[in-house]
Amino acid sequence: MAHDWITKQQLDQFKGLQRLYASNQDFDFGWWCAYFWKEARASGGRLDPGDEKLKALFVRVYRDPTLPTMNFGGRKTAGATIVVQQAASWPDTDADKRAVLELALEIGFKDMPGGPATGGIPRGLEVRRYFRNKLRLRTAGGGRLILPIGCRGEGRDFATVREHGGALNRVDLGLNNMGQPWHPFSHAPHKDRMYFRVASGDNCLFSVLSVAETMKLSVGFPLIEDEQIFKFPSALIMHWTRSQLELARANDVLLARVTCTVNGTQRTGVFLATQSYAYSFKVLGDAVHTQDFLENEMGGVQDQCIERGVREVALQDFLFGLKLRRIHLGPTRGHGVIAFIEQVRYQMGGDWHENVERALYAQRHFDSDRQAADAVLDPLEAQIQVGRIEGERLVDGNAVQIQSIDQWALSYEQFRQVIDEPRNQHFGQPVYFGATS
């Protein structure tokens, strides 16, 4: 084979590299290489039997123009001089950069074929079965149309969603240098695909809009552990210094004082807190069943990933949105999150409305099918009455319940006051701090 001169030891050293190139700023070539390489190095050869693409990438990184044309002995001799470490410089041309990124993409990512959400049978599974929440609409001919309903948690507010015309994946938006000629997502076929991250076992962060079947799942997103969005100290909250609290606040992570119960005993608590939005929408475009893909195509563990994916959601397909204050019971989604509803907005005619008239809502969204409108709005109104949504908890033994938010976005002085308040130090009434480790 063309790359047989590369030794197993060299490949093992290559896979051990955290980064192939230096990065000077977010989303430059070095950053993108690290994103693709993280999946490629840990994929275990599942998409690259025999490591042939990995070897081709090795040659691209430690580029020597004579290697592809030398005889075997010459290549082996030249290859023996290669020091396997982070490359000293980036490739010279856009084409060379793209070749590196495409190889890493093809080693660690797999294209997920999608299908229309209201029908179609990609991979033998009807897409409308991807979503447990479905409306059965009357059609003009007297029949019924199955319309799946999806949910999504994110950081964009109502005005931004309107400005963007809905929700597009970041590839189609051309953000984060994905429109640059050196980027794989600027060229077909890569720019048109929805990708699965093989090592991470979930959707690509850029080519897929991750969506959930339920609001309960969606309120956990964006993830508190996503360092592209949130950053906070790993130290226990009770030990945070002024500078650590200010660092967290600068990265959209706040502290909130709450009333909580721990194993049935009422306590004062201090927890990580963030603001987010959750949206409900009609799924009309292509969709992918990430969980099914992982389990059936990649041999993944059942229920390891319960996400779905879509390419985009048009603004007119949004049904409603919630502005949330989230209390995080720990440093990951799995520890649990309680989302308190601050605002509700209803989307009609490309704008957000504070109040809704059901007949008009049914006309705009469901061809005047009032039963379908009631199926959306009745559960929402019941949830508004509760005032909060409890997200999933995946960490066993978390017996904390949050009753109310008493103080939002604590300053350092307020934080110290909670800690130092004498009654909170009394035995049996200590402050409870959300886990941060």
Cβ proximity of 307 and 197 under 8 Å: no
* pLDDT higher than threshold 60 for residue 131: yes
- Which pLDDT value is given to residue 107? 97
Clarify whether residues 157 and 106 are in a common domain: no
Closest CA to 131 of 290, 276, 279: 290
Establish if 174 belongs to a structural domain: no
Clarify whether residues 291 and 385 are in a common domain: yes
Clarify whether residues 222 and 303 are in a common domain: yes
Establish if 118 belongs to a structural domain: no
Establish if 268 belongs to a structural domain: yes
Dihedral in degrees, nearest 10, Cα atoms 419, 247, 220, 355: 90
Count of domains observed in the chain: 2
Q: What does the pLDDT look like over 307-318, one tens digit per residue?
A: 788 989 999 999
**Can you tell me whether residue 407 is helix, strand or coil?**
strand
- Which pLDDT value is given to residue 265? 86
Establish if 430 belongs to a structural domain: no
Cβ proximity of 307 and 203 under 8 Å: yes
Establish if 91 belongs to a structural domain: yes
* pLDDT higher than threshold 60 for residue 424: no
Task: Find the mean pLDDT for residues 216-227.
Answer: 92
Cβ proximity of 261 and 89 under 8 Å: no
Clarify whether residues 36 and 154 are in a common domain: no
- Which pLDDT value is given to residue 362? 96
Establish if 373 belongs to a structural domain: yes
Clarify whether residues 154 and 66 are in a common domain: no
Establish if 119 belongs to a structural domain: no
Clarify whether residues 156 and 21 are in a common domain: no
H or E, element range at 238:
none
Cβ proximity of 314 and 325 under 8 Å: no
- Which pLDDT value is given to residue 150? 93
Chain-centre distance of CA 196, in angstroms?
12
CA gap 188, 165 in Å, rounded: 24
Q: What does the pLDDT look like over 352-382, one tens digit per residue?
A: 999 999 999 999 999 899 999 999 999 999 9
Clarify whether residues 33 and 159 are in a common domain: no
270 bridge partner residues: 257, 433
- Which pLDDT value is given to residue 66? 67
Clarify whether residues 373 and 311 are in a common domain: yes
- Which pLDDT value is given to residue 395? 73
Clarify whether residues 106 and 152 are in a common domain: no
* pLDDT higher than threshold 50 for residue 427: no
Establish if 2 belongs to a structural domain: no
Confidence tier at 1 by pLDDT (50, 70, 90): low
DSSP track, 118-167: TS--GGGS-GGGG-S-EEEEEPTTS-EEEEEEEEEEES--HHHHHHTTEE
- Which pLDDT value is given to residue 361? 98
* Boundary residue ending a domain (110, 137, 157): 110
- Which pLDDT value is given to residue 173? 86
Clarify whether residues 106 and 151 are in a common domain: no
Confidence tier at 436 by pLDDT (50, 70, 90): low
- Which pLDDT value is given to residue 118? 45
- Which pLDDT value is given to residue 428? 47
Cβ proximity of 289 and 308 under 8 Å: yes
Confidence tier at 65 by pLDDT (50, 70, 90): low
- Which pLDDT value is given to residue 104? 98
Compute the radius of gyration of the chain from its Cα atoms.
25
Confidence tier at 63 by pLDDT (50, 70, 90): confident
CA gap 245, 181 in Å, rounded: 40
Q: What does the pLDDT look like over 182-206, one tens digit per residue?
A: 999 999 999 999 999 999 888 999 9
* Boundary residue ending a domain (353, 370, 390): 390
Clarify whether residues 158 and 247 are in a common domain: yes
Clarify whether residues 106 and 215 are in a common domain: no
Full residue range of the structural domain in which residue 236 is found: 147-169+208-390
Cβ proximity of 209 and 152 under 8 Å: yes
CA gap 262, 367 in Å, rounded: 49
* Percent of residues, the chain, with pLDDT higher than 90: 62
* pLDDT higher than threshold 50 for residue 115: yes
Q: What does the pLDDT look like over 377-406, one tens digit per residue?
A: 999 999 999 999 999 888 766 678 999 999
